[in-house]
Amino acid sequence: MRNTAALAVFLIGITCASAPAWTAGSNQVVKLRRLSEQEYRNSIADIFGKDILVQGMFEPQIRISGLVATSTAVLSVTPAGFESFSKMADSIAIQATDEAHRGRLVSCSPRSAKAPDDACAGEFFSHYGFMLFRRPLTADERQARVNLARAMTRSSGDFYGGLRYGLAQMLQSPNFLFRKELAIGGKALRLEPYSRAARLSYLIWDTTPDAELLHAADTGELNTAAGMDQQVDRLLASPRLEAGMRAFFTDMLELDTFDTVSKDSLIFPKWSAAMALSAREETLRGAIDLTLHQNGDLRDLMTTRKTFINRNLAAIYDVDFSFDGEWMPLEFSPDSGRSGIVTQVSMLSMFSHPGQSSPTKRGVALMDIFLCEPTPTPPANVDFSVINETNGPLKTVRERLMAHATTPTCASCHTHSDPIGLSLEGFDTIGGRRLMENGQRIDLSATLQGKTFLDGPGLGRYLHDNPKFPACMARKLYAYAKGIDTEEVDASAFRTAYQAFADSGYRMRTLIKGLVESPEFFDTPAAVKEASARQQALR
């Protein structure tokens, strides 16, 4: 463990870089990633403290090949988005320099509270510039803020007013809002150490690099295998790994879908916004507990009957809630029809219609999420009338779907994705269990890629035993970490890491460590591909 006093000295000692890599002309920015809302919030909380309020609208994100993280390397900032960033920046800067916080957040005292003090302002901007930009400021960058603060102090007659405007400027600077990953030229492009620190930190902790990691970048430690190993171990050993993996699971399991899920309150009055939040939290808690707290086999996510519920979820699962805290562990009974993540309220309700379940939506989503097998979009002229006719002779969703899926143009896709969804028909659109539909017993059997299984637990076992599932997880984590398109990840890029993952019995920490310590993780072949045609189209 590093001495915190030494770190403090290091942070204060940061002035500006002597020969900064990021100004050299021959290098290349290999990735430019806009901070996500959570990354922004976590970074502000870490740099300024949790009592600094961040209030405002963040620009919507999009999902590309199953990951929102990929879109951070594609999206820019719109005028409305910038206006919001600008207001948030000012609000954070006001708070950080107000009387309640300046004692803690401003390390030096000005000669006079009413006059400019370039030395103190310089110290302030060096420190926060370093933390916010995740690298030291150049002498010019530092001087520009000092000048701005001086002018602002003069106009307002308030030293801290000068700091406020200078800080607000940094908070809306592209250097903060975007993570610039810079590689040093040569035969292969090697990520420079500060970019490595940021990539590690946002992957593992979902936040900005801490002082120790930045220090390791500063000293060049991160360029050595031993130094890297030491830092990776430190990051993985911290409880903050949980935040990092929560962010990953949220993205990978598409839990942000809940923001737009709505249910028909006439048919399913039990559904509420609170239920959606509860369901999302259940899935995250369960995934974190199994993969990190228990250090379990990731594949068991598909079969475990253990979960965590609150009072809301207990009402859908129709079990007792203990009231011993907000959340309680629960092990479903063997005859509950529930085991694994695919039988949780979250997965069942997110991929359904407002008023009825949808085997197709569930099938398409789960194939993509867990097996990295996207289903092509349906043709534009598709006829859905059979499926939607609930008062006709076809009682169950399966019967109506089958009638529709026999159309030759539809059959190939439905054969691909529907079986998964049909095995989950024992759950309604809010994830409640049912055995009958319109008075008829529901058929829960399914055959997928030559394997036959029955109901949700059967689907879970199928996925558990399917090697494509852990491989898909490894692929997604790799794409998530680097901000690239899942479909464009070459299997060779994570082969070593995947082997270690499999050898360890599919332990999450092993996968992370294997990925970040594989040589490909920070190095890029010299000819960096331009953005794909798909990414171009999104712009």
Partner 1 sequence: MRLRNCLLASTLVVACAAALAQPAAAAPWTRGFVVREYGFAFRYGGRPGVAETAPAADCARGSATHFNDEAEMRTALSRQPWRSKQEIESIIAPPGIEKARLPTYVRFYVWGRAVSYRGWRKGIETYINPFAAHDPGQPQVVSKISDGFDLDGNPKTGGFTSTGGIRGIDNALYRAWGCDAPFRNPASGTLDLRENTQMQEGLYTVVIRISGNQDPMNDNDATVEIGYSPDKIVRDARANVAPDYSYRIVKGEQYTRLKARIRNGVVETEQVDRLHVPRIGWFPDQMGDADFHRGRLSLTVDTDGRAASGFVGGYRNWLDLLAENTFAQTGAEQGIRDHEDAVGLYYALKRNADGMPDPRTGRNTGISMAYRIKAVPAHVVDPARPAQIRRLPADEERNRGFETVKAAMIRAVTTRTIQDVPLGTGEGQFPAMEKTIADLPSRDFFLKTLDAPGRLDENGNVVEPSPKPGRLSALRARQGN
Partner 2 sequence: MPIHRRTVLHGMIQGSAAVMAVPFLDCFLDGKGQALAATGQRIPTRFSTFFFGLGLTTSLWVPKKAGLDYETTVQLKPLEPFKKKMNVFSGMRVMVDDNPNFQHWSGNAAIATGIAPTKVSQFDSKTIDQTIADAISRGTRYKSVAAAASGDPKHCYSSLGGANTLPAEPSPLSLYTRLFGPGFQDPSSGAWQPDPQVMLQQSVLSAVTDERRDFMRNLGAGDRARMEQYFTSVRDTERQMAAELQRPDVVAKVAIPAAPGEMPVNYALPNVRAVTPLMARLGALALATDQTRVFNLAISEPGSNIFVPGDPLGYHVTTHMEAIDPVLGYQPHVAQYNIYSMELLASVLKELDAIPEGDGTLLDHSLVFAYSDQSYAKIHAVDGIPIMLAGSASGRMKTGYHIAGGGNAVSRVGLTAMKAMGLSVDGWGKGSMETKSAYTELLA
In this complex, which beta carbon is closest to partner 1, that of residue 2 or of residue 270?
270
Query: Where in 133-152 is the site for partner 2 (CB under 8 A)?
Result: 140-141, 144-145, 148, 151-152
Q: Tell me the sheet residues that pair with 453.
A: 446
Residue 536 contact, options partner 2, partner 1, none, Cβ 5-8 Å cut-off depending on partner type: partner 2
Buried b / exposed e along 437-467 (16+ C-beta atoms within 10 A): beeeebbbebebeeeebebbbbbbbbbbebe
Distance CA(507)–CA(504), nearest Å, equals: 6
Please choose, from the candidates 65, 153, 116, the residue with its C-alpha nearest in 3D space to the C-alpha of residue 374: 65
Provide φ and ψ at 452, rounded to 5°. Answer: -105, 135
Per CB under 8 A, 56 contacts partner 2: yes
Residue 497 CB burial class (10 angstroms; 0-12, 13-18, ≥19): buried
Least Cβ distance, residue 55 to partner 2 (angstroms)? 8
| Nearest CA-CA partner of 476 in 462, 493, 499, 459 | 493
Distance in angstroms (rounded) separating the CA atoms of residues 171 and 97: 13
Least Å from the CB of residue 325 to partner 1: 9
Q: Which does 391 bind (CB under 5 to 8 A by kind): partner 1, partner 2, none?
A: none
The reply on whether position 325 binds partner 2 by CB under 8 A is no
Cβ proximity of 106 and 126 under 8 Å: no
- Other beta carbons within 10 angstroms of residue 187's beta carbon come to 8
Q: Which does 504 bind (CB under 5 to 8 A by kind): partner 1, partner 2, none?
A: none
Pick from partner 2, partner 1, none: which does 29 bind, CB < 5 to 8 A by kind?
A: partner 2
Of the CA atoms within 13 Å of residue 444, those in its CB half-sphere come to 18
Pattern 474-513, partner 2, x by CB under 8 A: ----------------------------------------
Per-residue DSSP letter, 26: T
269 is a contact residue toward partner 1 (CB under 8 A)? yes
Tokens standing for residue 529: 């591909």
- The secondary structure element, H or E, covering residue 10 is helix 4-13
Measured from the CB atom, the residue of 156 and 303 that comes closer to partner 2 is: 156
Give the binding-site size for partner 1 (rule: CB under 8 A): 18
In the complex, what is the shortest distance from the CB of residue 276 to partner 2, in angstroms, rounded to a whole number?
A: 10
Contacted entry of partner 1, partner 2, none for residue 257, CB cut-off 5 to 8 Å set by kind: none
Distance CA 461, CA 438 (A): 29
Does position 157 bind partner 2 by CB under 8 A?
A: yes
Q: 367 and 433 in contact (C-beta within 8 Å)? A: no
SS3 assignment, position 30: strand
The 167-186 site mask, x for binding partner 2 (CB under 8 A), equals -xx--xxxx-xx-x-x----
406 binds, among partner 2, partner 1, none (CB under 5 to 8 A by kind): none
Among 249, 271, 453, 521, binds partner 1 (CB under 8 A): 271
Q: Which residues pair with 441 in a beta bridge?
A: 436
Which helix (H) or strand (E) segment holds residue 436: the answer is strand 436-437
Closest approach of Cβ 58 to partner 2, in Å? 7
Q: Is 259 in the site for partner 2 (CB under 8 A)?
A: yes
Task: Kindly tell me the burial class for residue 397, based on how many C-beta atoms sit within 10 Å of its own C-beta (0-12, 13-18, 19 or more).
Answer: buried
Residue 38: which of partner 2, partner 1, none does it interact with, CB under 5 to 8 A by kind?
none
Q: Which structure tokens are listed for 276?
A: 């959606």
Q: Calculate helix-pair angle for 468-482, 508-517, nearest 10 degrees.
A: 50
530 interacts with partner 2 by CB under 8 A: yes
Q: Which of 9, 62, 80, 526 binds partner 2 (CB under 8 A)?
A: 80
The DSSP code for 433 is B
Shortest CA distance to 349 belongs to which of 275, 399, 288?
275
Binding mask 306-335 for partner 1 (x = CB under 8 A): -----x--xxx-xxxxxxx-----------
Provide the token pair at 39.
Answer: 């990354």
| 441 near partner 1 (CB under 8 A) | no
Please tell me whether residue 274 binds partner 2 under the rule CB under 8 A. Answer: yes
Cα separation of 128 and 52, whole Å? 15
Q: Looking at beta carbons only, is 63 or 311 nearer to partner 1?
A: 311
Site string for partner 1, 233-262 (x = CB under 8 A): ------------------------------
One of 265, 388, 440, 449 touching partner 1 (CB under 8 A): 265
Alpha-carbon span 171 to 121, nearest angstrom: 16
Q: Binding residues for partner 2, per CB under 8 A?
A: 22-23, 25, 27-29, 32, 55-58, 74-84, 86-87, 90, 140-141, 144-145, 148, 151-152, 154-158, 165, 168-169, 172-175, 177-178, 180, 182, 259, 262, 265-266, 269, 272-274, 528, 530-531, 535-536, 539
Q: Binding residues for partner 1, per CB under 8 A?
A: 265-266, 268-272, 311, 314-316, 318-324
